Structure 1
Amino acid sequence: MLAAAAAATAATAGPERDVLFIYDGPAGRSEAFKTASYIEKLLSHFSLGPGRLVQARDYRPGSAEVPGFLFVVFEEGTPDVPDALLRDLARRKAPIVWVNLHVEKLLELNPERWGLTHMGLDFSGKFRVTYKDRTFVKEDPEFNMIRVDVPDKVWVAARLDDGAGRTWPYVLRSRNLWYVADAPYSYAHEGGRFLVLADLLHDVFGLDHPPSRRAMLRIEDLTPEDDPAEMRRIANFLAGEKVPFQVALVPRFRDPKSQVEIDLADRPEFVEAVRHMTAKGGTVVLHGVTHQHRGLSTDDYEFWDDVSGEPLAFDSPDWVRQRLSQGLRDCFRQEIYPLAWETPHYSASRNTYRVIAEFFDTFNDRLMAADISGAQVLSPYPFRDSELGVTVIPENLGYVDLDNPDPDRLLRNAENMTVVRDGLASCFFHSFVPLRHLKRLVRGMKRQGWEFVSLRDFGCNLRTESHWVTSTGGAGSITAVNQYVRETTWSRTGRLVSRKLGASRQKGRVSRRVGLPSGGLYVLETLDLRPGRPRAAGPEWMSGLY
């Protein structure tokens, strides 16, 4: 049935690949706007987008007849469905995806066409959703009851148990109409029912990606105050398991209350531990610069005001640019090379993201779809934000909490993720949590059939005037200002492959075109001074460099 539905959708869509979202509620602020924004961010996974979001009140007659795909997202209790929209939808032949409320307005226009009847709303709140033999607890307390009057016309893709012995359609298709019986992102959490729609979008868009089970692991919130021994133990375990991983680095630790600030240069043992992690297959992700703006590092936000629920009052492109430049300089001076970005507490304005995208083309993140608190996109697969020009490699399973360590919760989330045919199950772990929990998590996910991959497998770039860090290869350049130029390549496991230092100082643009094996890492950089040869008994990371 999946293949048939996909083929029918593809045939209906024809060559037109535009996507239009009609939503209700206040412009740019409503819950329906957030839901539409979340789905819009996923379009690139299907070689679509960017989509257009239009408030229902601004709908213009005839607009629904043009795009290849049309989403109607209504979440306000008071109907705000323009008559012109309903008339256009009734004539439309291409796919319609109606999400949540007021679908009865459409069904009543032509009951025989759809073979469906809206029976009202159920608020009893004891619901479970079943899809592909997996059961999901429905996090919010309401859904739309739809009666299927003509079963031969309707494919029920997912069902809902109402707790009273009755089952109802949760997601269905009748002719060119897809219907989702609630707001799938309302109270959404890791491993939750949002995965149902995320998978069925393959059928809506007629693009059935090959099945895969890729997984990713990130070691989170590492600051110069963390214990190097714990970091080494984690790296050694993961290398033994042949699991690549990410290293979320905060290069400066601040505690304003105690008037303490510690950077990488103050903690050489920590720097050695980070290098040890990269030598064991870790890839560095810059996780902010201080991960705070008024409180303690890693506890506080850096680019968002959590009190007002808005961007920082003093946020500006120059401030963000200067902050990132300082953090990167701290890393480069210690020969640490971030490849991607993670926003502290997953919170920043779109303007801040635009500046960060000047440096990084890949975020390992939950990107905020809009400047609204709680607008982080929970995605089961990578997507591209075309406005920012970045690829988002999502985190979507959660983490093991030190106060209540339960790796089995993440394993349940990962098991639920298997309903997404090409899902990427991604989680994080703190170095101060006992290692036994990481062992249970990693080995459990392996038993579920997940294959751990590296951020480098997606092809990422960091570009500054002085550094090009890439796992993609291709063409890149830096600018030398009477400086030496050095090129270094590592394998996917962190082994040094080659290092070449220019014989003399250079000026101007320095360009290179490089080819990299899968998972490799290449750095082109400028140096103010020519490095001396390391001591014979130097630290492990220096062995074999020259």
Structure 2
Amino acid sequence: MKKYLIVLCAFLMVFTSKGLVSAEAEDTKTLVVYSSLNRQIDEDERKLDMLLSHFTETINFVHVSDFQPEDTKDTTHVFYYGSRGEQLPDSFLESIGTYDGTLTVIGHNQKQFNDHFSFEASKKLSNFNYMYLDRDKKDKIKISLQSLFTVPETEDMQVLAWGKGGKKTHPLIVEENGSYYVASPDVISPVSTLFGDILHEIYQSSHEEQHPGYIRLEDIHPLVDPEKLKETAEVLIKNDIPFMMAVIPVYTDPDTGKRSHFSDYPETLKVIKHLQENGGSVVLHGYTHQYRTSETGEGFEFWDVENNTPVYKEGSDPTPMKRPDDFHTREAYQDYMAELKAFEKEYTETKLNKGIQELTGFGLYPLAFEAPHYTMSQHGYEIASQFFSTYVGQMQLSDENWQVMDSVPYSTSPSFTHGMTILPETLGYVEPDNNHAAEEIVQKAKQQLLVRDGMVSFFYHPYLGAERLEEVVDELKEMPVDWIDLKEEDTTVQSDEVVITAVDGQVHVDKNTFQLFRDSKTLFNYFVQNTADKVTWAMVGVSSVSVLLFCFYTFISYRRLIRNERSDQVG
């Protein structure tokens, strides 16, 4: 009973606290109307979901062909996402024409909203490779070549962000009479950086000018070099920077298939425990960080890269994936997909359960989750949300292609994560073969500071040693970054036998120790070995004390004998 009360209280704290996500969420209600060919929510809408969820807890998505006038009832903000050009339904345009809340139009079809805008964006696309906020004209962000719809400037228009290509400058985001237009065909990075800041104005948000951040030490598994790990982490400890450790409980050798656990490498375990007690927070980074015969740290665990699908079968199963046209009826295909999703659910739950419980058995307490290579299906995120309140890193936005992933400039809790708060990775990582990696990290950090609550976050591989990390940290120390300590973030992690909560810097662990050791041979052996070692050392201690007492008694007896002999001689 105690365990379930702890879980209930912890989740109430998590979901009633606005934390890093939003300060005005309860005052807003948002409707997103979108155009997409298959009428399904896809990566475009999910990216917008991540951006908007920083400001609001209530977002409804409606395909433009399914829109009903009552959809805008009590809605404070409407976003139309035109991911393709089309003639919009009259009923939708008439309803939006009389809508008196805040309207934002993105991409295609802007000229059909003539009740809100006096201008018409040309279908002609212009290229730009620099962008900047109007209020910070000197802070131009260089980007890869992007396109935008050409917007003619008017007297009533306020240009909030610009795109520059060559000698030509074009409005990128504008406001007119309380309505907004984003001239980019999409809001994928890096456009989302500027749009993310302007959303504060769209939502009239009073978020403070503050910049949370984190540094994550990546791919820490049993075979890492404990000396380099400790040496690297000491850079953060001496600079009083709390940090995250992405820990993989099991290392799998790709050649032999042999699995190594932290019980096999006690020195590494000792170092991680030391770091956990001195500013480090553990993030579960998969259970083995591999699938099929790939190596831990290199492979994908929750995505089948060969088939570019979620993990729908055992890695050793050579059976090819079937497609809809392999079935005579739609129902037969749906039954097939239901079986695959059932396998994915069991597979994912087993991995997450094992990961949480094995780390806990070794005295390591994960406070968040990071999917290996940031790859996981939408179904996978739903499953993970039952175990974790916090996710760290970028997000995969498509179930069709794992490479469609992105991040946002601030923490958020989109609907597709089912309550998990995302602490995004915004700066990338220090690449081993890039001599300018540290410089690039710092430059990206400066860009994040343009967003009034932009997050400064990156990851670092400890095998690179301390020197390159120190180079980045020395630069970041001069920036106004509030480093995140997961122990302060009201996080909750739970598995079948474990509940871990972190509140106000304290980590509380409720675990069924007997069940943990009964279910895991590795943990049972570790417990037995640990107990044997303690008993052995206790026996050594008792024996040592006995020897010392014997020596002391012998010495005292000898001294007494000498004194007695001298007394006899004197007498």
TM-score, normalised to structure 1, is 0.79
Work out whether residues 19 and 52 of structure 1, in 8 Å CA contact, stay in contact via their aligned partners in 2: yes
Does residue 22 in structure 1 map to residue 33 in structure 2?
yes
**Cα distance in 2 for residues equivalent to 1:210 and 1:58:** 38
Larger of the two Rg values belongs to structure = 2
- The reply on whether 1:380 has 2:409 as its aligned counterpart is yes
Match of 2:113 among 93, 98, 106: 106
Assess if the C-alpha contact under 8 Å between 2:369 and 2:392 holds in 1: yes
Query: Aligned residue for 2:505?
Result: 519
CA contact (8 A) 1:29 1:372 kept: no
Query: Take 2:213 and 2:470, find their aligned partners in 1: how far apart are those partners?
Result: 15
* One-letter amino acid matched to 2:142: V
> Which residue in 1 is equivalent to 2:43?
34
2:253 paired with 1:255: yes
Secondary structure in 2 matching 1:45:
coil
CA gap of 1:431–1:126, structure 2 versus 1, over 3 A, is same
Distance in 2 separating the partners of 1:114 and 1:417: 31
Once residues 426 and 375 of structure 2 are traced to their aligned partners in structure 1, the CA distance between those partners, rounded to angstroms, is 15
1:74 corresponds to 2:82: yes
Kindly state the Cα deviation for residue 525 of structure 1 after the two structures are TM-superposed.
Answer: 3.0
Matches within 5 A, 1:140-289: 140-149=145-154, 151=155, 153-163=156-166, 165-186=167-188, 188=189, 192-289=190-287
Q: Offset of 1:348 from its aligned partner?
A: 1.1
Does structure 2 conserve the Cα–Cα contact (< 8 Å) formed by 1:41 and 1:369? no
Which blocks of at least 5 consecutive residues in structure 1 are unaligned? Answer: 1-12, 473-517, 539-546
**Aligned-residue offset at 1:55:** 2.0
CA contact (8 A) 1:22 1:71 kept: yes
Deviations along 1:341-393, whole A, 9 cap, x unmatched? 11111111222222222222111132334534345341222112456222222
SS in 1 for 2:198: helix
- 3-state SS, counterpart of residue 173 of structure 1: strand
The one-letter code of the counterpart of 1:173 is: E
Whichever residue aligns with residue 278 of structure 1, its letter is: Q
Work out the CA distance in 2 between the residues paired with 1:16 and 1:446. Answer: 36
Q: Does 1:402 align with 2:432?
A: yes
AA aligned to 2:65 is: R
Q: In structure 1, which of residues 127, 130, 146 is the aligned counterpart of residue 129 of structure 2?
A: 127
Deviations 1:457-500 (CA, angstroms, capped at 9, x unpaired): 2211112343322212xxxxxxxxxxxxxxxxxxxxxxxxxxxx
Q: CA deviation at 1:207?
A: 1.2
- Cα distance in 1 for residues equivalent to 2:122 and 2:257: 62
Q: Are 1:75 and 1:183, in contact at CA under 8 Å, matched by a contact in 2?
A: yes
Which residues of structure 2 form unaligned runs of 5+?
1-23, 314-342, 515-526, 541-571
2:60 to 27, 52, 71: 52
| Cα distance in structure 2, aligned partners of 1:376 and 1:364 | 14
From 477, 490, 498, the counterpart of 1:467: 498
User: How much has 1:226 moved relative to structure 2?
Assistant: 1.0
Separation in 2, partners of 1:247, 1:65: 46
- 5 Å-filtered alignment, 1:410-489, equals 410-472=441-503
Post-superposition offset of 1:424: 1.9
Cα gap change, 1:307 to 1:80, in 2 (>3 Å): farther
Cα distance in 2 for partners of 1:95, 1:377 equals 26
Partners of 1:43 and 1:50 within 8 A in 2: no
Residue-by-residue CA offset, 1:402-427 (whole Å, 9 max, x unaligned): 12141111111110001111122111
Quote the residue 1:510 is aligned against.
Answer: none
Do 1:252 and 1:264's aligned partners in 2 also have CA atoms closer than 8 Å?
A: yes
Match of 1:366 in 2: 394
| 3-state SS of paired residue (1:316) | helix
Cα deviation code 1:497-539 (max 9, x no counterpart): xxxxxxxxxxxxxxxxxxxxx323222334338986685899x
Cα distance, 1:169 vs. partner? 1.2
Offset from partner CA, 1:236-289 (integer Å, 9 cap, x none): 221111111001001111133333321222111211121122122100000000
How far the C-alpha of 1:34 sits from its partner, in A, is: 2.1
2:379: which partner in 1?
351
Asked whether the equivalents of residues 65 and 89 of structure 1 are also in contact (C-alpha less than 8 Å), the reply is no
Name the SS of the counterpart of 1:471 in structure 2.
Answer: strand
Task: Give the equivalent residue in structure 2 for 1:493.
Answer: none
Runs of 4+ in 1 over 4 A off after TM superposition: 529-538
Instruction: Determine the C-alpha separation between the residues in 2 that align with 1:140 and 1:34.
Output: 21
Q: Distance in 1 between matches of 2:279 and 2:215?
A: 12
Cα shift readout 1:304-352 (whole Å, capped 9, x = no counterpart): 1223332112343222222222223321232111111111111112222
Task: Measure the CA separation in 1 of the matches of 2:98 and 2:210.
Answer: 38
Q: Which of 370, 375, 387 is equivalent to 1:342?
A: 370
Moved more, 206-215 or 258-267: 258-267
What whole-Å deviation, never above 9, does each CA across 1:40-86 have from its counterpart, x for those lacking one? 2333322x23312222233335645662211111122x424223222
Task: State whether residues 192 and 409 of structure 2, in contact with CA within 8 Å, keep that contact through their aligned partners in structure 1.
Answer: no
Q: 1:319 to 1:282 in 2, by over 3 A?
A: same
In proportion to residue count, which structure has more helix? 2
User: Contact conserved, 2:228 with 2:465, CA < 8 A, in 1?
Assistant: no
Partner of 1:117: 120
Number of equivalenced pairs: 465
Aligned to 2:297: 298
Residue 86 of structure 2 aligns with an amino acid whose one-letter code is P
Identity %: 23
3-state secondary structure, aligned to 2:268: helix
Residue in 2 aligned with 1:491? none
* Aligned-partner SS, 2:229: helix
Shift of 1:395: 1.4
Q: Letter of the 1:169 partner, please give it.
A: P
Cα distance in 1 between the residues matched to 2:539 and 2:265: 20
Inter-CA distance 420–114: structure 2 relative to 1 (3 Å threshold): same
* Aligned residue in 1 for 2:347: 319
State the partner residue of 1:309: 308
Query: Match of 1:390, as an amino acid?
Result: M
SS in 1 for 2:396: coil
**How far, CA to CA, are the matches of 2:539 and 2:281 in structure 1?**
26
AA at the equivalent of 1:436: E
Q: Which amino acid aligns with 2:147?
A: E
Partner secondary structure for residue 41 of structure 1: helix
